[in-house]
Amino acid sequence: MTARTADRLRPTDAAATTQLMCVFKNHILEPVNQYVLNKRICAHGNYSMPYLHSPMHDERSGSQSQQSLGVGKTTLVQKACEALLSSGVGVEGFYTEEVRERGRRTGFDVVTMTGERGHLSRIRDVTSASPGRREYTVGQYVVDLPAFEALVLPLFRNVGLADGGNKKVFVIDEIGKMELFSQSFIRAVRQILDSSSCTVLGTIPIPKGKPLGLVEEVRSSRDVRVFAVTKENRNALLQDIVGAVQECLKPTS
């Protein structure tokens, strides 16, 4: 980032910006709900980002959370990827999708950009539980760590420069409590955020209760820009996110 760019992004009044939290290489989406307005100040400067809190029960965390699975962040990521692909940008990575049976949520899958699908978690089945086997649980869900790692980790290893030397976009939806049971996933996320081979478009939950170490690490990074996603602003944010990612893909002089 040039000095001129840095000056332009450094507001003198913390209230002057409402969406920009951190800048610059990577783009992270934060789900937000309605009701009580609060403000948080970025740890690395005077950027302020309002966020809204609704005390809803999050089935992924098993507790009250500011994250709403229905806020539309994954759909927003998918639409952004479609727009980027249509403009000739290479997109890799994965997103998380809920699994329903007879109208009832029974778990979550991870789906790659090429359509491969694998288990992330399922509701605990006490009849099939193996005695002595370690379980990774979030609320009523049991995380299928081997299946998650088998599908997702190769994506990190294979990402690189596209044909012609153009950077790719790598999607991580999401960096959440279930995914963070995997130490290999944590290492892979850190490595790709430090890499110059791609721009990352990802999603993180808004903090509630005990902070998730990697989530806070990502949120406070100097080269990460965070967009707060609500049901009200998700459609309007699409062009902002696509434009921000395309800006990051431009060669630096």
Reported as a single tens digit per residue, the pLDDT across 106-119 is 999 999 999 999 99
How many percent of the chain have pLDDT more than 70?
A: 66
Mean pLDDT, residues 57-72 taken together: 42
What's the pLDDT score for residue 190?
A: 94
153 has pLDDT over 50: yes
**Better-predicted residue by pLDDT, 178 or 8:** 178
156 has pLDDT over 50: yes
Tokens of 196: 């110059």
Tokens of 160: 């690189």
59 has pLDDT over 60: no
Tokens of 184: 């290999």
What's the pLDDT score for residue 244?
A: 92
Contact between 123 and 141 under an 8 Å Cβ cutoff? The reply is yes
Cβ-proximal residues to 233 (8 Å cutoff; 6+ apart), any chain: none
In whole angstroms, give the CA distance from residue 97 to residue 104: 14
What's the pLDDT score for residue 23?
A: 29
Tokens of 106: 């029974």
CATH value of 22-97+110-118+145-249 in 3.40.50.740, 3.40.50.300, 3.90.180.10, 3.90.25.10: 3.40.50.300
Mean pLDDT, residues 88-101 taken together: 94
Cβ-proximal residues to 10 (8 Å cutoff; 6+ apart), any chain: 45, 46
What's the pLDDT score for residue 24?
A: 36
Locate the domains of the chain by residue range.
22-97+110-118+145-249
Cβ-proximal residues to 63 (8 Å cutoff; 6+ apart), any chain: 57, 139, 208, 209
Nearest alpha-carbon partner for 200 in 229, 168, 175, 235: 168
**pTM for the full predicted model:** 0.72
In single-letter form, the type of residue at position 10 comes to R
